[in-house]
Amino acid sequence: MNVHLVIQLARFGDVIQTKRLIRGLLADPGNQVHLAVDAGLVELSEMIYPDVVVHGLPVHDPRSEPATLIRACAEIFSAWKAADVARVYNLNHSGFNHVLAGLFAPEQVVGYQWNQGQALRGSWPETVFRLSAHRSANPLNLMDYWGFFLGQTQGLAQGLTQGVVLDPALVNPPATPKGGGLGVVLAGRHARRTLPVPILARVIQAAAARIEGKILLLGTAAEREAARALRPLLPAAIQGRLKDLTGRTGWTGLRDVVQGLDLLLTPDTGTMHLAAHLGAPVTAFFLSSAWAFETGPYGEGHQVWQSVEPCAPCLEAAPCPRSAVCAQAFADKAVLARLARSAHSVQSAQSAGPERSNHPDPPESLCLLRTGLDDFGLEFHPLAGELPDQEARAARRELLRSHRLRIGPRRIRLEQTAAEALYHEPDWMIDTP
């Protein structure tokens, strides 16, 4: 039995976006997988990965006493030692991650390493890190990024089976309406990624025209005020369909609700990734710092309304000098008209392509995308609007695809700028771990 440890200390959505890596490891019956997560995500992780040994660390709980943290860590470290971990996949560039990775020999660690007091990135993370210099041309989904950690074989001990880079089609089921009505996630983790309540009310009213049944409001207890503010902005007929579940569902309850939906309306959230995991259709609204190509819903048949303002995607930690103007376009009549279409006409428009749509074009600051899959991973097909940096993004994706899959590129000529952005001269001179 080969024991593999995945260190994923980020949040809700990131745990689910680790799925391609974890399922790839589990594809080899000779592997056992351990997963280190924040203590608050243990129940979720065990629900998503029932075949994985989950360890919870009190990383994000500000109430954790140092002594409690030390005791919890000591118990987990003892369990890892007893398990005789052979390979470690360290997925995040954070101090806590580096400390955990430092418990193991550097040659055991894939991803972000700690070696003799230095924080190091492996060759694949280093290559991908360079994409952040020009995010609007970044073509790589986080699920695929972590999934291709399995492609790194340097330091792999003799006889150690790593697992396989999982076929993208085996990660999540295709989006299929389930018959349980409309779900609405009221807010993202950051306020700038969240549609203002008056705009969200118009979006719900449009989508409710083609989705029958209950309209389920989802979120934590912090979103209850938004749910109360939303109700009077909706027509009486739609108010009668509302069911406020904010703060009323644990992880299991949230799964039970989401897996039965006809459609989930959401910003870039963990609940969006849960819906994609379960095959529930998603229509997502990406604004501010959210970029669909990086963290969009994974699988066939989801839709994303992506803000393409000149400043998008922005850095949410920095103040917005434009008063979050990117949110206003989501209330445009063309957007609402598309949301109100029947399911049949949505499928017809997807087949026909944007040029044959009978609906008005969205504002220039928005682009409508549909998710799809190829042999590399998640890709997006524009249904309406114009994407910035499309050629540069396509060239970078094809270059990554050809190198990670070790096959010839589908495009005979690739942009030189794409190669220069992803690979530097020392990459060809020094074989970094």
The CATH number assigned to the domain holding 36 equals: 3.40.50
pLDDT per position as a tens digit, 73-97? 888 999 999 999 999 999 998 888 9
CA–CA gap between residue 124 and residue 321 (Å, rounded): 35
Report the pLDDT value the prediction gives residue 393, as an integer from 0 to 100: 94
Domain count across the chain: 2
Q: State mean pLDDT over 26-31.
A: 93
Residues 122 and 193 in one domain: no
| Number of other residues whose CB lies within 10 A of the CB of residue 236 | 6
Q: State mean pLDDT over 33-42.
A: 96
Q: What's at 239, amino acid-wise?
A: Q
Query: 371 φ, ψ to 5°?
Result: -80, 150
Residues 21 and 122 in one domain: yes
CA–CA gap between residue 215 and residue 20 (Å, rounded): 31
Residues 259 and 134 in one domain: no
Q: How far is CA 139 from the centre of its chain?
A: 13
Is pLDDT above 90 for 358?
A: no
Is pLDDT above 80 for 162?
A: no
Is pLDDT above 90 for 286?
A: yes
Residues near 321 by Cβ (< 8 Å), separated by ≥ 6? none
Query: 323 φ, ψ to 5°?
Result: 55, 40
Report the pLDDT value the prediction gives residue 73, as an integer from 0 to 100: 82
> Where is pLDDT greater, at 424 or 254?
254
pLDDT per position as a tens digit, 90-128? 999 888 898 888 899 998 999 998 888 788 888 899 989
Residues 247 and 187 in one domain: yes
CA–CA gap between residue 262 and residue 210 (Å, rounded): 10
Residues 354 and 206 in one domain: yes
Binning pLDDT at 50, 70 and 90, where does residue 156 land?
Answer: very low
Q: State mean pLDDT over 317-340.
A: 93
The DSSP result for 132-172, as a single string, is: GGGGGG----HHHHHHGGGG--TTPPTT--------GGGTS
pLDDT per position as a tens digit, 374-420? 999 999 999 999 999 999 999 999 999 998 998 888 765 666 778 88
Residues 75 and 44 in one domain: yes
Binning pLDDT at 50, 70 and 90, where does residue 433 land?
Answer: very low
Residues 192 and 242 in one domain: yes
Within a domain: residue 309? yes
Counting other chains too, the contacts that 35-44 makes at CB distance below 8 Å and 24 or more residues apart are 35/5, 35/6, 35/8, 36/5, 36/6, 36/7, 36/8, 36/9, 36/76, 36/100, 37/8, 37/9, 38/9, 38/11, 39/72, 41/11, 41/12, 41/15, 43/250, 43/251, 43/252, 44/12, 44/15, 44/251
> Where is pLDDT greater, at 117 or 350?
117
Residues 258 and 305 in one domain: yes
Percent of the chain with pLDDT strictly greater than 90: 71
Is pLDDT above 50 for 262?
A: yes
Binning pLDDT at 50, 70 and 90, where does residue 159 land?
Answer: very low
Is pLDDT above 80 for 269?
A: yes
Binning pLDDT at 50, 70 and 90, where does residue 426 land?
Answer: confident
Binning pLDDT at 50, 70 and 90, where does residue 354 land?
Answer: very low
Residues 195 and 150 in one domain: no
Q: What is the pTM of this model?
A: 0.92
Is pLDDT above 50 for 171?
A: yes
Last residue of a domain, one of 388, 408, 425: 388
CATH number, domain of 355, equals 3.40.50.2000
Within a domain: residue 192? yes
Residues 215 and 347 in one domain: yes
CA–CA gap between residue 10 and residue 94 (Å, rounded): 9
Residues 378 and 262 in one domain: yes
Percent of the chain with pLDDT strictly greater than 70: 91
Task: Quote the domain boundaries for residue 88.
Answer: 2-166
Average pLDDT, the chain: 89
The DSSP result for 348-406, as a single string, is: HHHHH-GGG--SPPPPTTEEEEEEEE-SSSEEEEEEES--TTHHHHHHHHHHHHHHHTT
Q: What is the DSSP secondary structure assignment for residue 44, as one 8-state letter?
A: H
